[in-house]
Amino acid sequence: GENVEQHPSTLSVQEGDSAVIKCTYSDSASNYFPWYKQELGKGPQLIIDIRSNVGEKKDQRIAVTLNKTAKHFSLHITETQPEDSAVYFCAVGEVRFGAGTRLTVKP
Amino acid sequence: EAQVTQNPRYLITVTGKKLTVTCSQNMNHEYMSWYRQDPGLGLRQIYYSMNVEVTDKGDVPEGYKVSRKEKRNFPLILESPSPNQTSLYFCASSWGDPTFSGNTIYFGEGSWLTVV
C-alpha cells in the first residue's frame, strides 16, 4: 500500500520566520495531496491541497509544492505567527496520512 | 452549521465491555469514515462507507465494527475492547470517495478512548 513519510516530526521557529514540512510518498498513481492543521483538542482541518497537474499552489501565507517525479510535496508557511502553532499532517488521497509535524512558533 | 458530531468525547472503559462511539453529520455526505490517531503514526483508517449499507475495511479494522443504516450516522462499535485500542478516534465525512477526486473531508472533534 501507499507509504507516506513526513519530516520533521517537530519544528520550532521564531515568529516571522518560514517553516517547511516535507512529505514523500511511494505510489506514483497518486494525484491528490492535501495538508491538514490540527489544533489542540480539535480534529484535523484542511488548509491547502494540490492536485498532480499543478506544481505549486498558494493561499496567502501558505503554499504547497509538488514534485511528482521525485514523489515529494512540501508545505511552506511564511511569516509565521504564534497561532500557526499546531500539528500539521500531509496526506495522499484522503486515506494515507503522514505521522504529523508539531510546529511551534515562538513569539 | 456544517459539522460532524462524535459522542462520547472522552471515555474510560474496561477490557471486554462493549462500547459504541456515535458519529453523525448534517451535510448529507455520502462518504463517512473512522480513523484512529496514535503518536508517531498519524491517522490510520479503520473503516469507511461509500453510502448507506455499504461499508469496507480500512487499514486497521481488527477489533472494530461499523454500520451505516442511515446516511447521516456511522457508529463505531468495539465489541470487546482491549488496551491496544486506547487511542484518539476521529469520524469524518465528505461528498464522495475522496481517495482520488479530492472531495474535502470534514473531521469530527475526536473521541478519547482509554481501555484499562
**Chain B positions in Cβ-Cβ contact with residue A4 (cut-off 8 Å):** 42
The per-residue pLDDT for B62 is 97
Angle (CA) B57 B61 B64, round 5°: 115
The per-residue pLDDT for B105 is 86
Confidence band (pLDDT; 50, 70, 90) for A15? very high
Q: What is the 3-state secondary structure (H, E, C) of B67-109?
A: CCCCCCECCEEECCCCHHHCEEEEEEEECCCHHHHCCCCEECC
Cβ contact A29:A52 at 8 Å: no
The per-residue pLDDT for B102 is 64
pLDDT digit string, tens, across residues B8-17: 999 999 999 9
B110, A43: Cβ pair inside 8 Å? yes
Q: How far is B12 from chain A (nearest CA, A)?
A: 17
A41, B110: Cβ pair inside 8 Å? yes
**Chain A positions in Cβ-Cβ contact with residue B42 (cut-off 8 Å):** 4, 6, 89, 97-100
A97, B44: Cβ pair inside 8 Å? yes
Residue written as cell 462507507? B49
**Chain B positions in Cβ-Cβ contact with residue A43 (cut-off 8 Å):** 4, 90, 92, 107-110
pLDDT digit string, tens, across residues A65-100: 999 999 999 999 999 999 999 999 999 887 789 999
The per-residue pLDDT for A1 is 65
pLDDT > 90 in chain B, percent: 84
How does the average pLDDT of chain A come out, rounded? Answer: 93
Mean pLDDT of A21-38: 91
Tell me, rounded to whole angstroms, the distance of Cα A107 from its chain centroid: 22
pLDDT digit string, tens, across residues A46-59: 999 998 888 899 99
B109, A49: Cβ pair inside 8 Å? no
Burial B13-25 (b: 16+ CB within 10 A, else e): beeeeebebebbb
Confidence band (pLDDT; 50, 70, 90) for A36? very high
> Distance between CA atoms of B42 and B82, rounded to whole angstroms?
20
Residue written as cell 458519529? B23
Nearest CA in chain A to B9: A41
**Chain B positions in Cβ-Cβ contact with residue A51 (cut-off 8 Å):** 102
Written as tens digits, the pLDDT of chain B (116 aa) is: 779 999 999 999 999 999 999 999 999 999 999 999 998 888 999 999 999 999 999 999 999 999 999 999 999 999 999 999 999 999 999 987 766 566 788 999 999 999 99
Of B35, B42, B94, Cβ closest to residue A100: B42
